[in-house]
Amino acid sequence: MQLSREGDRREGILLRQSRGWFQVASMGHEPLAALAYLLRPDDYLFPYYRDRALVLARGVTNYELALAYFAKRDSSSGGRHMPGHYSSRKLNIFSVATPTASQCIPAAGAAWGLKMDGRDSVVVCTVGEAATRQGEYYEAVAFGLQENLPLIMVVEDNQYGISTPTVRHNPYRLKVFHEDHVVFVNARNPDEVYAKGQTAIARARQGGGPTVLWCELDRLCSHTSSDDHRVYRSAEEIAAMTLRDPISVFARRLIESGQLDADEWRRWQVEISQQVEDEYLRAEAAPDVEPERVMDWLYGDPVAATPPPIKPGGSMTMVSAINDTLRAALAENERVIMMGEDIEDPKGGVFGLTKGLSTQFPGRVVNAPLAEATIIGTAVGLAATGYRPVFELQFIDFVSTAINQLMTQVASLRWRSLGEWSCPMVLIAPCGAYLPGGSLWHSQSNEGIWAHIHGLRVVIPSTPEDAAGLLWTSIHGNDPVLFLVPKHIFRKRLSVSEFPAVPLGRCAIRRTGTDVTLVTWGNGTELADEAAERAAREGISVEILDLRSIEPCDWEGVAASLAKTGRLVVMHEDSRTGGFGQAVVAEMTSHVERWNHFLAAPQLVARMDVHVPYCPTLEYTVLPTVEQILAAIRTVMA
């Protein structure tokens, strides 16, 4: 506790000396360190940024925290993350993300993984009380109760969300939650933290399920170095709070009871102060970050693609190819697990992608609650415990309620932890329009958005062979993959003679040509093929490139075709503004050697910048058409 306090004090001094950029202190939260002494090495801790004392007690060194303060090369994030955002794979301390409560559902996912392993390990997840009004906190607690998980949620209630008093917002005071699973703790007293934490953890180890430890304490400092709590706290409140300082009160009690010698306590304080000063001086002189390595750990090492071990069945659909590939993956690796809404038999998913799988693999293909953040967030925790989640969203349109997990946890985890933590998972999501009646929330593709989420792979197959090959490669890779399945063509029957290996980042030439390069993907391949046929009747030879993989994208493959034809048309069904087609055009025109290939200005065919309407007449008004593609081909040939 004193080591944590002294580290906070030292960082405050350094910041005032302009030796640093930011500080988030933990003063007043130190008694929670007692929980660390109840944990075993095989337990997991999902902390938040006010847990300096807790992670020190878990085994993180003060020197490591000093490296993080100075954003040094050898810190846990290599200078990529703010101080106070702890991470240690060897200590099972999950990498902290700034968005409040975003760690809660992954913690529940990790607890789920431990339970499925048959272990008596536990997960402790901490969160500030202001963040308990986040929907993801509710989803995590609900999932923990639903599955009876070994999960202890530690709510650190310091009565403030930055400057906002939280007493009126507390969900337990509002009777939103039943108090049967809540234990209230005077967390200013480390002995009470230890005793009540011991009971909760023992209960979880014995299969008794989750507990919420609601810990009342004080934040003895401003929210961060960017805040001044004297603006919104009275002098009287600060003075009263200081009298409750848990370190001073606890030390005094130990001295009065004869358990601690006063002179020895003063000597410890001096020694700890000197230790901290020395370690921060050493950290300040440690090697700085290496700018040339800023792209390292954004993605995992590539894995060689192998053919999916499924047999062609004459004519097949993407749906059947995906189903066969999922069956093969489940049979091959018992760590592969699936969850999604309605994916269990007898329904087998709203589109039948998982038909028969829950019957063949009971307990490993399971229905999810109607909660997309839970679907994606639990996958993060499962991946942390060694599982291979292959989860399904009913429609990509519904990912908006889970975008926090996708961006905050899934995509940035490897990069922000220097590869110590990662999230190899596959998220299957039907996408796209061209099916009358889809309307606003059953017609989206939005690959331009997903391509912008750094650390996320994005693929869109358009044939059974590619659906199987890309899915098999994704399941065996080291990265999170968003696997988009275009609904308009996923039941289209095509002749399949073999299932070859399909690597990510390699486009497919669907039709060879010499006059125009037509780049597309997903549902666009069907329209492109018809447009190319009609162009051929006019004597125009069109080469169709199916990107298949949006991230990574085969820029060299597109450039090679452009070098042959000198003309470029890009078609996508996403909106024009900000769509990935604009990135294709920009990539091809922004390099001098590629620019020199152009015989005409490139053309982009895309959806109008408007939502997809319900009425079929309106839907086909806003979507790109064969006629528009053909007009673009004629334009570049003019």
Phi, psi of 124 (to 5 degrees): -110, 125
Q: What is the DSSP string of 211-243?
A: EEEEEE----S-SSTT--GGGTS-HHHHHHHHH
Q: State how far the Cα of 587 lies from the Cα of 161, in Å rounded to an integer.
A: 44
Note if the bond before 552 is cis, omega within 30 degrees. Answer: yes
Q: State how far the Cα of 324 lies from the Cα of 306, in Å rounded to an integer.
A: 16
Phi, psi of 473 (to 5 degrees): -65, -40
Short-list 45, 47, 115, CA closest to 84: 47
Q: State how far the Cα of 618 lies from the Cα of 298, in Å rounded to an integer.
A: 41
- Residue 135 neighbours by CB distance under 10 Å: 14
| Residues carrying an active site annotation | 442
DSSP H or E stretch at residue 341: none
**Which structure tokens are listed for 422?**
């990662």
**Which structure tokens are listed for 41?**
């090495």
Lookup result for tokens 């399909």 = 502
DSSP H or E stretch at residue 325: helix 318-332
Q: What is the DSSP string of 440-501?
A: TTSS---HHHHTTSTT-EEE---SHHHHHHHHHHHHTSSS-EEEEEEGGGTT--EEES----
Find out whether 111 and 94 touch, Cβ atoms under 8 Å. no
Q: What is the DSSP string of 368-428?
A: PPS-HHHHHHHHHHHHHTT-EEEEE-S-GGGGGGGHHIIIIIIITHHHHTTTSS----EEE
**Which structure tokens are listed for 363?**
């307990």
Short-list 315, 318, 316, CA closest to 490: 318
Instruction: State whether the Cα torsion 591-593-596-598 is positive or negative.
Output: negative
Short-list 9, 54, 24, CA closest to 274: 9
Find out whether 163 and 227 touch, Cβ atoms under 8 Å. yes
Find out whether 112 and 149 touch, Cβ atoms under 8 Å. yes
Lookup result for tokens 């053909």 = 630
- As to burial, measured by CB atoms within 10 angstroms (0-12 exposed, 13-18 middle, 19+ buried), residue 200 is buried
Find out whether 520 and 624 touch, Cβ atoms under 8 Å. no
Short-list 492, 500, 479, CA closest to 422: 479
Phi, psi of 2 (to 5 degrees): -70, -35
Q: State how far the Cα of 56 lies from the Cα of 78, in Å rounded to an integer.
A: 19
Buried/exposed code over 6-18 (b: 16+ C-beta within 10 A; e: otherwise): bbbebbbebeeee
